Structure 1
């Protein structure tokens, strides 16, 4: 199961994580975001211990959204060692493409 991150716990859960973290910047009103939820939840179990998957609601966490200049939903950003290292915008990736992308950054 993916974890929920907010402005207040982003540093602890994402920036200080020992493994790479995929942050899913999503919004309640975003249909493509909701369509990706089951895939990301499944992958969080499959890749546990190698990649952490976190969800951040852009509507209620404007500080992080502004800091990382997120402008479109969904935005998937991978963090390693406290830094963003890769980004995908939009829901155009298949499950296979997401797995391949995440495994390329896995610990």
Structure 2
């Protein structure tokens, strides 16, 4: 009888469990630093700078949640989502640091480095095209 290690040798493992995606809604600066600017994080993280009073932000938010739940990067890793309320004190500081001038603004990061951004409420196809870069 073969041992388990011999049974697995040369075979591919299949996992049917979902990818471990993370959504950090109304993230604190501590969470932002831990998830986004930590250079050890090699996952693509989308940061959605928004405000409660912003109508286009409310239109974009469900699209971002849906696509980060359904899609993955070219390398197969999940997409994480961080939302930052620019009207909160910490959110205001972060929006200034990343030169957010209009809402909504979405910035993609990997390993603490900015990969790209878009401004305005894109439709689902527009957001999907943006995500296809990663």
Query: Is this a same-fold pair by TM over 0.5?
Result: yes
1:10 pairs with 20, 32, 45, which one? 32
Query: Which residue matches 1:40?
Result: 64
- With a CA cutoff of 8 Å and minimum separation of 6, indicate the structure with the bigger relative contact order: 1
Give the length in aligned residue pairs: 104
User: SS where residue 9 of structure 1 aligns?
Assistant: helix
SS in 1 for 2:95: helix
Structure 2 residues without counterparts, runs of 5 or longer? 1-21
Q: Which runs of 4+ in 1 moved over 6 A?
A: none
Q: Mark the runs of 5 or more structure 1 residues left unpaired by the alignment.
A: none
| TM-fit CA distance, 1:79 | 0.8
Distance in 2, matches of 1:33 and 1:101, equals 17
Superposition pairs of residues 1-107 of structure 1, within 5 angstroms? 2-4=23-25, 5-16=27-38, 17-47=41-71, 49-60=77-88, 61-91=91-121, 93-105=122-134
How big is the alpha-carbon RMSD for the aligned residues of Structure 1 and Structure 2?
A: 1.6
Which range moved further: 65-74 or 96-105?
96-105
TM-score of the aligned structures, taking structure 2 as reference length:
0.70
